[in-house]
Structure 1
Amino acid sequence: MATQLDSTLLKQVADALPDIRSRQITATLNLLNDGNTIPFVSRYRKEMTGSLDEVQIRTVQDTWNHFEKLANRKTEVINSITEQKALTPKLQQQITAATTVQEVEDLYLPYKQKRRTKATIAKEAGLMPFAKWLLGFHKESVETEAAKYINPDKELPDVEAVLAGVHEILAEAFSEEASFREFIRDYTRSHAKLTTTVKSKGKEADEDGVYQQYYEFEQPFTKMAAYQTLAINRGEKAGVLRVSLDVDTDAIMNFFHFRTVGHRQGPAVAVIEDAYADTYKRFIGPAIERELRNELTDAANEHAIKVFGTNLYHLLMQAPMKGKIVLGFDPAYRTGCKLAVMDANGKYLDKLVIYPHKPAPANKRAAAAGEFHDFLEKYQVEMIAIGNGTASRESEIFVSDVLKGIKRDVEYVIVNEAGASVYSASQAARDEFPDLHVEQRSAISIGRRLQDPLAELVKIDPQSVGVGQYQHDVPNKELSAQLDTVVETAVNQVGVNLNTASSELLEHISGLNKTIANNVVAYRNENGRYTDRRQLKKVPRLGPKAYEQAVGFLRIIGGKNPLDNTDVHPESYPVANEILTLTNTDVDSLGSDEFKQATAKLDKHAIATETGAGLETVTDILDSLAKPGRDLRDDMPAPLLRHDVLTIEDLKPGMELQGTVRNVIDFGAFVDVGVKHDGLVHISKLTKRFVKNPAEIVSVGDIVTVWVDSVDLNRQRIQLTMLKPNEE
């Protein structure tokens, strides 16, 4: 059983998520605490959560974790100040009422253990009473009062030394005042401008002019875009740019004066003014600038990670090319093009190396077309997946020419091969194909990406698949966590074939880990194909909880029980069988028109009441029975098939083309229109209306109609538009 949830934290989470009811939040957190996974809760516990989806469940979890972390930090701080015998009721109330970790840290700052400072030394020398005297704004001479504290034994030989010491005490005290930091932080955030200039030798370090647009740059802090922040950070790190956060300090000095001096007068005023000006210059100003720069960076990182995650999800969810014999074509010049053919189920059949391009010898180039033609005919290849790397353009021309001599309908697709070489050299690839060279494994990966993008891409480090934005600038730990979440979501939404899934695919299934996934495959290899979901209970290390979490996402095609090829959970098989009884049908009729007509007449509410299942569960079961073996990806755009070759020289302004969206970034989308280089559709050219986020309009894998805007042959750049020429 889960531990009792803290009622205070529950209220904070509920207040932070007004669109989700308290009952849903409590139920969700209890389910997660009981060891249930988010995909399982989202799919099979809808009655308990009120049908929260995965995004909402993660939001509940993240919000709870945030407030729990905040509560833990408050406890640590209160305990620390208590140990110092410095905790007052007012301070405890302030810490308890704080709503952010930053507020807590501001309040804790005066009590935080720190290195021995000039202010500490001045206090040890006995100058604290003098500091308090100054804050009393007495009319007596400051120098006369200071003279009372002269003590050569404590390194206070004269009035000047005494004033310097008390200055340090006041400056440090002002810097540790939480309300001062809060105002200055908020004011700077609202009014500052981020300014960049090129360093004296910055241009030498920036030979290609990558950061040229930031040599003289100024932008209000509140209007900084994520890509600007990350680019500026990189330029600063590379030694090209000097970066500062500039703000008019008059308002800050006026605030200091109002809070420390007010309407009071006297000789001490000048000393106080000098102290607060110095505390801003030395302590608060630089600290706030660091905090706000970090705030910008954190927000930019979060945004970049989100962009990458969204693109990765759509890449993984691309429609598979089912039931086709596919040839993977890994292009190359000198070392030859590596070919690998897979049957309709992705099983590797054969390999071939051909040499159609220079600098291969003339005799090998002459033989390449015939060898390729015969290889296609031998295996009756229906689809060719050409990698988009080196020699891709020449290989596409070669393939197109050979296909003209084949009477069958054979088409080709240009496949993004990003990460294929990473997989090919991995231990997983060596284990799967120990007798093949790296390049031959790469050809298999390219072909399988077309057959089943999800199953193949999960074998590759997500950061290597080429759909990110500044992914090398963001924290690796956070990026990896987000991408793992995306992969988990995609894999469980689709489900996997228990008899063909690799261990790399299975380890992303709800409830499974790498060890159990390997055991699932090992059991299959030792005992033959799975024919019943219950066989999973015999897999080593796959206990009752793991079985409960995983089994609904694992499909068996052609097994003993057709229900095993649906996403109906075995715990709901009695309900499914009751539905079959009510419709006078059986499991062999699942998905048929007869079954759909019979279920259309059923009363879902009555079934829910009679079986004790919830209405949401009954609805999901009916949908699953109507579409056994369904694949969400079948509703996604199919790959864009090509017969002939287009070159960048063929492109003319106004030309209409179809293309595949390869990447979506902050300022637009890159589209593959069948030439070597992807074209950019700028955000302003996606649609006639204003768009803040290109992902509102397009996603990776979308097939879009575009028009050529301009072509720069020298720089090999293509500008595209999704606005019809007469709509510009």
Structure 2
Amino acid sequence: MDIILRLVEEFKLKKFQVENTVGLIDEGNTIPFIARYRKEQTGELSDVVLRDLYERLTYLRNLENRQMEVIRLIEEQGNLTEELKKEILASETLQRIEDLYRPYRPKRRTRATIAKEKGLEPLANVILSQEINSGNLEDIGEPYIDEEKGVTTVEEAYQGAMDIIAEIVSDNAEFRELIRNIVFDKGILVTNAVDKETKSVYEMYYDYKEPVKAVANHRVLAINRGEKEKFLRVKVDSPDDNIIDILKSKVVVNYKAITTPYLLSSIEDGYKRLIFPSIEREIRNTLTERAEEQAIKVFGQNLKPLLMQAPVKGKVVMGFDPAFRTGCKIAVVDETGKLLDHTTVYPTEPQNKVEEAKKELTELIKKHSVDIIAIGNGTASRESEMIVADMLKDLNKKVYYTIVSEAGASVYSASKIANEEYPDINVSIRGAISIGKRLQDPLAELVKIDPKSVGVGQYQHDINQGKLDETLRGVVEDCVNNVGVDLNTASVSLLSYVSGISAGVAKNIVKHREEIGKFNDRKELLKIKRLGEATFVQCAGFLRISNGDNPLDNTGVHPESYEVALKLINKLGFSEEDIKAGKLKEIDSIVNEKNIVEFAKELQIGVPTLRDIFKELKKPGRDPREEMPKPVFRTDVLKMEDLKPDMILTGTVRNVVDFGAFVDIGVKQDGLVHISHLSNKFVKNPMDVVSVGDIVNVKILDVDIEKGRIGLSMKEA
């Protein structure tokens, strides 16, 4: 297999792009580094394409390795033919290879192997040959009676022979592929209740049928969970009679043979007992794998905008972690995220100390000049929001509040990371600190939490955890490296997502920083234990140092391009000091596309890299998240009872799923914009229309207070 050529064709890329990318990956370069600093070699492939290409490269290499392994195993048995070898090498999926290997795979003791031990294989061959058109079946079977081997009658001999034929039919790779395709195309997924009287969230599946090929991915995962929780029985109905007839037409060549009834019976047994149960499992696995891939993709696509939410800089924030019985935890953090104060108030049930809570919160707001209150969206959130909104009316200072997703805050609170950051602070207060800080810098705070716990996926605990972790880590890596990391403030958690930096090296960086006070130059990284030249090349461009010795250290310009950048600055009539002063914003009036091409030739550097250098010089310390939608800040509050059909409201997209989007409109329950109400145009994928964190206008369609459901539409809004 020519893997390079295969990737070129599948991804519709140029050969040099694939060759160079594969070479860079094999050299140990990370995807963020390749995407950002090797654009000339890759033809400017994005991090998303690079990750997809890497995943496919891994699959094809595994496929190639498995081809060689299967060929070796069959050859060792002495069963490898040139034709079989060609078929294996032509296989395009691992499934096809396994189908071809199936007849040669060492088996546990089966009915067929037992029959072979009894010496019945020659009788099976007689039946398969279909050459005897006359005579007596008893006479044909009698020579195979052997009481010592356990064959005492002619019928036992024929039964054993039929077991052998059934397994031969079952092991036929062409038959399995044919049946797999038929079942996938014509099969029906059927679900029934284990107990129809039991109430559950799976009631719509208590008597449910849908063509296998049409089952939506989210329904597959819901059905799997219902089966796992023992609410549902699941099976695949297939056109058995039709399939058996097709198998008979392919195996039976002489219906006049007197052994044909045994052959027909063997074919039917082979299908019903061996092939179909196996194919049913494969079909269910295929549906599950497809659904998991989609769920993982959705999770990754939701996670990215969540992490890339605009930071709220330069504001003192009060983190408000709502609760009932145990009280609401409060933490005030300054503009840099440093903890200033914390307390617990009890405005909610059962204590209902509303006025005491308002008084204490007002004092904290005045004492620390709080600008914004970040309220977690969990239990007692809306009750707390009403109290906060009422309190803000009586303040002399303009203070806003916003609702922040608290998903994962409790996970963080009890984590080793939180214990290291706040060893003397109660676990319950740490959640409030996290809520406040994730408003100030969502990315820096959310990287401390397992990505599965941030509340933007579907069925995340039901899907392949290894694949999910790998995908989500890739998303976090891309976000962290896209934004860049302040070397003098970044936590171990944040640093460990930087290109090339392991958790151990991240700890060493923080330890070194504590010893020296602060980094003044990127080159100081080379003094850190376990951070050699190769790691420095991978990570340096993504680490920022503001107010350091070299103004280029506060940009995304890689140290390997400093010489070119300085030549360019001088050529344009600027100095290094002008970078710090932000005077290079003016280069837009000097530089155009034609100039860039000319400069690139003169400086012997690639045009894409030079474009990036220009972009960085214009805006040192640039944060791409500043272009993202800002959070919705409120001073008032709505109750679900206030909602009426046709009202138009502004909300924040909290989660996007296959069937629509959930939007926070400022009441206790998020509303659902069904996929059919996302746009006036046909929408195939909700993510083509909205992303997590988007600020959207919605129209109320219906409100069900009893069930806590709100139907929304973005069509007319």
In the other structure, the counterpart of 1:448 is 437
Query: Which residue does the alignment assign to 1:688?
Result: 680
For residues 352 and 149 of structure 2, the distance between their equivalents in structure 1, rounded to whole angstroms, comes to: 89
Provide structure 1 residue ranges, at least 5 long, that are not aligned to the other structure.
1-6
Describe the SS at the equivalent of 1:74.
helix
- Report the CA distance between 1:112 and its aligned residue: 0.8
Offset from partner CA, 1:54-104 (integer Å, 9 cap, x none):
122112211221111111111111111111111122211221221111111
Are the equivalent residues in 2 in contact too, given 1:325–1:382 (CA < 8 A)? yes
CA drift at 1:12: 2.9
Give the SS at the match of 2:691: coil
* Change in 2 beyond 3 A, CA 1:333/1:180: closer
Q: Distance in 1 between matches of 2:286 and 2:48?
A: 24
Cα 1:355–1:256, aligned 2, differ >3 Å: closer, same or farther? closer
For 2:327 and 2:158, the matched residues in 1 are separated by 81
Q: Give the structure 1 partner of residue 271 of structure 2.
A: 280
- For residues 701 and 522 of structure 2, the distance between their equivalents in structure 1, rounded to whole angstroms, comes to 55
Query: C-alpha separation between the residues in 1 aligned to 2:356 and 2:157?
Result: 94
**Partner letter of residue 83 of structure 1?**
E
In the TM superposition, residue 153 of structure 1 has moved relative to its aligned partner by 2.1
Query: Are residues 1:345 and 2:369 paired?
Result: no
User: How many residue pairs are counted as aligned between the two chains?
Assistant: 712
1:652 aligns with 2:650: no
1:297 is aligned to 288
Could you tell me which of 623, 636, 640 is aligned with 2:632?
Answer: 640
**Structure 1: distance between partners of 2:188 and 2:615:** 55
CA displacement at 1:250 relative to structure 2: 2.8
| Identical columns (%) | 49
Distance (whole Å) between structure 2 residues aligned to residue 90 and residue 596 of structure 1: 65
* Counterpart check, 1:573 vs 2:566: no
The corresponding residue for 1:3 is none
Residue in 2 that maps onto 1:596: 588
1:480 aligns with 2:474: no
Q: CA deviation at 1:134?
A: 1.8
Please say if 1:151 is aligned against 2:143.
no
Moved more, 711-720 or 594-603: 594-603
Selected match of 1:52 from 45, 53, 56: 45
Instruction: Give the superposition deviation at 1:439.
Output: 1.7
Query: Distance in 2 between the 1:142 and 1:318 partners?
Result: 79
Work out whether 1:262 is the aligned partner of 2:280: no
Of residues 8, 14, 20, the one that matches 1:21 is 14
SS in 2 for 1:116: coil
Q: Look up the SS of the partner of 2:129 in the other structure.
A: coil
Partner amino acid for 2:432?
A
**Matched residues in 1 for 2:379 and 2:114: separation?**
67
Quick check: 1:589–1:595 contact (8 Å CA) kept in 2? Answer: no
1:100-119 paired onto structure 2 within 5 Å = 100-119=93-112
For 2:590, what is the secondary structure of its paired residue?
A: helix
- The answer to whether the aligner puts 1:425 opposite 2:414 as a matched pair is yes
- Structure 1 outlier segments of 4+, above 4 Å: none
Q: Could you tell me whether the CA contact under 8 Å between 2:123 and 2:158 is conserved in 1?
A: no
Deviation digits for residues 372-427 of structure 1, max 9, x if unmatched? 11211111111110112222222212212221222222111111111111101111
1:600 Cα offset (Å): 4.4
CA distance in 1, matches of 2:355, 2:5: 76
Report Cα offsets for 1:588-614 as digits up to 9, x if no partner.
Answer: 333434333233497112221122111
1:701-720 aligned within 5 A: 701-720=693-712
TM-score, normalising length: structure 1: 0.95
Q: Corresponding residue for 1:219? A: 210
CA separation of 1:152 and 1:334: change in aligned 2, threshold 3 A: closer
Partner of 2:572: 583
Q: Which moved more, 1:292-301 or 1:239-248?
A: 239-248
Match of 2:489 in 1: 500
Q: CA deviation at 1:136?
A: 2.4
Q: What is the identity, as a one-letter code, of the residue corresponding to 2:142?
A: A
Determine the C-alpha separation between the residues in 1 that align with 2:264 and 2:522.
Answer: 77
Amino acid at match of 1:341: V
CA distance in 1, matches of 2:346, 2:490: 34
How far has the Cα of 1:219 moved from its partner?
Answer: 0.7
How far apart are 1:660 and its partner, in Å?
Answer: 0.3
Which string of whole-angstrom CA distances, capped at 9 and with x for unpartnered residues, describes residues 554-592 of structure 1?
A: 111121221111101011111111111111012333343
Q: What is the match of residue 535 of structure 2?
A: 546
Residues 47, 614 of structure 1: 8 Å contact kept:
yes
Q: Which letter maps to 2:83? A: K
Counterparts of 1:526-565 in structure 2, within 5 Å, are 526-565=515-554
* Preserved contact between residue 519 and residue 545 of structure 2 (Cα < 8 Å): yes
Aligned to 1:175: 170
Partner amino acid, structure 2, of 1:104: I
- For the pair 1:123 / 2:123, whether they are aligned, the reply is no
Report SS of the residue matched to 2:272.
helix
Residue 359 (structure 2) aligned to one of 367, 370, 393: 370
The superposition leaves residues 457-485 of structure 1 with CA deviations (integer Å, 9 ceiling, x where unpaired) of 00011111111111121121111111111
Aligned: 1:142 with 2:137: yes
Q: 2:388 aligns with which of 399, 405, 420?
A: 399
Contact 1:106–1:181 (CA<8 Å) still a contact in 2? yes
For 2:665 and 2:400, the matched residues in 1 are separated by 16
1:13–1:67 CA contact under 8 A, matched in 2: no
* Cα root mean square deviation, aligned: 1.6
Aligned to 2:181: 186
Q: Distance in 2 between matches of 1:355 and 1:100?
A: 61
Asked whether the equivalents of residues 585 and 595 of structure 1 are also in contact (C-alpha less than 8 Å), the reply is no
Residues 323-342 of structure 1: matches in 2 within 5 Å?
Answer: 323-342=314-333
Counterpart for residue 404 of structure 2: 415
Deviation at 1:257, TM superposition (A): 1.6
Shift of 1:215: 1.1
Which among 229, 232, 237 is matched to residue 241 of structure 1? 232
Q: Which runs of 5+ in 2 are unaligned?
A: none
Would the aligned equivalents of 2:128 and 2:165 in 1 still touch at CA under 8 Å?
no
User: Equivalents in 2 of 1:601, 1:475: separation in Å?
Assistant: 47
Q: What secondary structure sits across from 1:719 in the alignment?
A: strand
Aligned partner letter, 2:328: C
- Of residues 644, 662, 669, the one that matches 1:670 is 662
Opposite residue 385 of structure 1, the aligned amino acid is: A
For residue 68 of structure 1, what is the amino acid of its counterpart?
R
Q: 2:480 is matched by which residue type in structure 1? A: V
Correspondence for 1:4: none
Alignment partners' CA distance in 1, 2:212 and 2:246: 21
Deviations 1:193-237 (A, max 9, x none): 1111223xx235x43x31111111111111010111111111112
Residue type matched to 1:16 in 2?
A: E
Task: Find out whether 1:229 has 2:220 as its counterpart.
Answer: yes
Question: Could you state the TM-score of these two structures normalised by the residue count of structure 2?
Answer: 0.97
Q: 1:118 Cα deviation (Å)? A: 2.2
Aligned to 2:423: 434
Partner of 1:524: 513
Partner of 1:94: 87
